[in-house]
Amino acid sequence: MSSILPINESDLQRAVEKVGTLTLEKLDLSKITINPLECDASLLSHLAVDFDVSIAGLDESEARAYLQHAREIKYYIGSPWAVKKAAASIFGENIQVETWDKHEGVPGTYKFLIEVTPEKSVNDENINKTIKLVDEAKRESMHLSGITINMKNSGLYKKSITTLSSEVGTVVPKVLEDIYSGFFQNIGTTIYMIEMVVIQPQMEV
């Protein structure tokens, strides 16, 4: 490698240049990248300094996800996009951020909607990390108003359908509040030809 020093540089500086050149020639520079998703984990803290963000308290996967969009988050700070990308660093696409105008809340507020999945635990630690990242990306006037956690359960659910033909029919189903479920259906049909039928839920003892 030819010298890049001026012709009047001292012998000491030339010696340092030579040592540095020999060191770089032995390195496989093709493996060095500043892509947060591909670089060595030891470079993540250096990228955080370069992007002027903090990854303190984040695990490796969270830090990589955050650093991937760190420059854009800083550039579009205060926008809904920046807030959503910051929150997605922890929960990925399983979290939504809704501003007050979307859920008829108090002006200047926002809330989280989090889907429970096996991949990411919904606990105090992860929620606090999300709040911290969002605080750095949102407008100063915005405040968290609430967190909604949705959990979907799958399972086998059997039901029957009854067709009634009578003068009086009373159906009193058991009321279930705020429970939503998806299921595969096994359907059976029964036809009764009677004058009166009353269907009531079994009372729990």
Q: What is the pLDDT of residues 176-204, one digit of tens each?
A: 565 555 555 555 555 555 555 455 555 55
Report domain extents, the chain. Answer: 1-32, 36-150, 154-199
Mean pLDDT, rounded, for 145-166: 71
pLDDT at position 87? 92
Mean pLDDT, rounded, for 142-150: 87
pLDDT at position 102? 79
What is the pTM assigned to this prediction? 0.59
pLDDT at position 9? 80
* Better-predicted residue by pLDDT, 102 or 27: 102
What is the chain's mean pLDDT, rounded? 79
pLDDT at position 191? 53
* Cα Dmax for the chain: 113
Closest by CA position to 50, among listed 37, 36, 61:
36
Closest by CA position to 153, among listed 184, 124, 129:
184
Dump pLDDT digits (tens) for 58-98. Answer: 999 999 999 999 999 999 998 888 999 999 999 988 898 88
> Predicted confidence band at 158 (pLDDT cuts at 50, 70, 90)?
low
How far apart (Å, rounded) are the C-alpha atoms in residues 61 and 37? 9
* Better-predicted residue by pLDDT, 5 or 54: 54
Q: Is 152 exposed, middle or buried (0-12, 13-18, 19+ CB in 10 A)?
A: exposed
- Both tokens of 185, joined, read 């259906």
pLDDT at position 200? 53
- Both tokens of 157, joined, read 């659910």
How far apart (Å, rounded) are the C-alpha atoms in residues 32 and 30? 6
